Amino acid sequence: MRTPLLCSHCKRQITGRYFKDYWGNSYHVEHLNKVPTCNYCGRLISRELTKGGTTYSDGRRICMLCHKSAVEDRVKGKLLLKTVHHKLENLGIEILPFRPEFYLIDRSRLKSLAGSSEKQGFARFQRETVNGIIRNFTMDIYILKGLPESSFITACAHELMHIWFYSRNLTDLSPQLEEGSCQFTAYLILKDMISPEASYRIHQLMEDKSPIYGKGFQKVFKMAESKGVKYWLNYVQNHKRIL
The residue ranges that bind Zn ion (CB under 5 A) are 7, 9-10, 28, 38, 40-41, 63, 66, 179, 182
Query: What is the closest distance, in whole angstroms, from the C-beta atom of residue 80 to Zn ion in the complex?
Result: 18
Query: What is the closest distance, in whole angstroms, from the C-beta atom of residue 130 to Zn ion in the complex?
Result: 28
Choice between 45 and 223, CB closer to Zn ion: 45
What counts of helices (H) and strands (E) characterise the chain?
9, 7
59 φ, ψ to 5°?
Answer: 100, -10
Choice between 59 and 128, CB closer to Zn ion: 59
Choice between 118 and 224, CB closer to Zn ion: 118
Choice between 186 and 224, CB closer to Zn ion: 186
Residue type at position 242: I
In the chain, what is the straight-line distance between the N-terminal and C-terminal CA atoms, in Å?
53
Query: What is the closest distance, in whole angstroms, from the C-beta atom of residue 238 to Zn ion in the complex?
Result: 21
Q: What is the distance between the alpha carbons of residues 196 and 186, in angstroms, rounded to a whole number? A: 16
Task: Write the burial class of residue 16 (CB in 10 Å: 0-12 exposed, 13-18 middle, 19+ buried).
Answer: exposed
How many CB atoms neighbour CB 222 within 10 A?
11
Query: What is the closest distance, in whole angstroms, from the C-beta atom of residue 61 to Zn ion in the complex?
Result: 9
